[in-house]
Amino acid sequence: MEKILVTGGAGFIGSNFIRYMLQEHPYHIINLDALTYCGNLENLRGVEDDPRYTFVRGSITDRKLVDGIIKDVDAVINFAAESHVDRSIEDPEIFIRTNILGTQTLLEASRKHGVERFIQISTDEVYGSAEKGYFTEETPLAPNSPYSASKASADLMVRAYHRTYGLPVNITRCSNNYGPYQFPEKLIPLMITNALENKPLPVYGDGMNVRDWIHVLDHCRAVDLVLHRGRVGEVYNIGGNSERRNIEIVELIVRELGRDESLIRFVEDRPGHDRRYAIDASKIRNELGWKPLYSFEEGIRETIRWYIDNRDWWENIKSGEYLRYYERMYGGR
Ligand code: NAD
Ligand code: DAU
């Protein structure tokens, strides 16, 4: 393998992944990203000058562009997506276009040009809500939001391209990521940056929903292992084994930043809000020898420090398009 296409590399996980891969491997990385509201080339500070890195601005739904890029690459790793559940509830259509049609466009070019490996970055949300027990790779798909339904649809298309055309694929399904460069619409960066600005901290419903948190670099290491050693056609769950209630996280951030708990506001719940996600990652642990290296407590402290030290990065975001979205979502609360 020499050349890898990473899509969505200007987003949160994709940018961490590109930096990680350039450090760990000699590959040339092409980053195809449409630079939507959350795609930000600032996330790749320091990487632009690397001769093994090329940026292409464009959409994964653009057949001609995608075909022209994929004819020269050995592997495709598809991070590009509309990724925010609340936005999918507001307006699902772009989720269908990007997450389903975009994935199919990449699959079609990959099949035509015979790529060595196609990795679909999926999510634990495709399994729905885990009222008890853990999601394994055998858990039936039961997505509850337009976002997760679009990701599950893409997964089924990836599966079909493997079964029908023999495309060498893997699907990874990871739990909630946190870490540097996460867009401040997601729980952890939203709470950190609002607390830093002494703004209200909006907690949905009773705050007792549970997510299974993983540091983004542990996710990146897992994807690297699947790319090199994953068995063709297999799905791999990835999870940090760090279940926390939302309210616990918000209280921890308030404490760490020395703010007052009166900033916390319980607001109207998210429609169709999944109660709990919980990943059983024993397949990737046993087959590929992966395990998370970060403890949640260590990772969250490091992440809080990153947002304190990189105020310019998130202040730029919060003063742009995101401000209009935030006012629509939380205006008056
Ligand atoms: P993100 O929203 O931060 O980044 C998504 C990136 O995709 C952005 O750079 C955006 O510009 C780009 N993009 C969007 N539409 C595009 C298009 N049509 N063509 C090309 N690029 C496009 O998302 P993230 O949190 O980094 O998530 C990355 C992937 O990982 C997604 O597929 C998501 O479903 C999956 N995932 C995320 C998490 C998480 O906790 N964040 C967990 C599991 C899986
Ligand atoms: O599980 C993996 C998924 O994690 C990824 O596939 C998604 O791309 C990613 O966005 C994330 O989805 P969630 O919906 O779990 O993440 P979010 O950060 O939006 O919310 C986490 C929890 O916090 C959820 O229970 C809703 C709650 N929440 C969120 C926001 C933004 C709040 O209570 N208040 C908020 O303001």
Work out the mean pLDDT of the chain and round it to a whole number: 97
Confidence bin at 332 (pLDDT 50/70/90): low
Q: Which of 36, 79, 85, 300 to mutate to test the pocket of ligand 2 (most atoms within 8 A of CB)?
A: 85
Alpha-carbon distance of 262 to 256, in angstroms, equals 15
**pLDDT (mean) for 77-90:** 98
Question: Among the atoms of ligand 2, which is closest to the Cα of residue 84?
Answer: 10
| Beta carbon of 242 within 6 Å of any ligand 1 atom | no
The pLDDT tens digits for 168-208 are 999 999 999 999 999 999 999 999 999 999 999 999 999 99
pLDDT for res 201: 98
Respond yes or no: is residue 147 known to be catalytic.
yes
Ligand 1 centroid, distance to 224 Cα (angstroms): 17
The pLDDT tens digits for 117-135 are 999 999 999 999 999 999 9
| Beta carbon of 189 within 6 Å of any ligand 1 atom | no
Task: Please answer whether residues 12 and 38 qualify as being in contact, where contact means their C-beta atoms are separated by less than 8 angstroms.
Answer: yes
**pLDDT (mean) for 53-81:** 98
* CATH class entry, domain 3-177+216-238: alpha beta
Could you give the angle at the alpha carbon of 114 between the alpha carbons of 238 and 100, nearest 5°? 50
Q: What is the ipTM of this complex?
A: 0.99
Taking CA atoms only, the protein residue closest to ligand 2 atom 7 is 83
The pLDDT tens digits for 205-262 are 999 999 999 999 999 999 999 999 999 999 999 999 999 999 999 999 999 999 999 9
Respond yes or no: is residue 124 known to be catalytic.
yes
Q: Is the pLDDT of residue 333 over 70?
A: no
How many percent of the chain have pLDDT more than 90?
A: 95
pLDDT for res 326: 83
Q: Is the pLDDT of residue 39 over 70?
A: yes
Q: Render 267-307 in DSSP notation, one character per residue.
A: EPPPTT---B--B--HHHHHHH-------HHHHHHHHHHHH
| Beta carbon of 81 within 6 Å of any ligand 1 atom | yes
pLDDT for res 329: 82
CB atoms within 10 A of CB 198: 10
Backbone Cα Rg of the chain: 19
Domain residue ranges in the chain: 3-177+216-238
E runs forming strands in the chain: 3-7, 28-33, 53-57, 75-78, 117-123, 169-174, 176-178, 201-204, 210-215, 235-238, 243-245, 264-267
Q: For 51, phi and psi rounded to 5 degrees? A: -65, -15
Closest listed residue to residue 76, CA positions, set 52, 57, 104: 104
Respond yes or no: is residue 309 known to be catalytic.
no
Alpha-carbon distance of 45 to 28, in angstroms, equals 17
pLDDT for res 328: 83
Confidence bin at 264 (pLDDT 50/70/90): very high
**pLDDT (mean) for 45-56:** 96
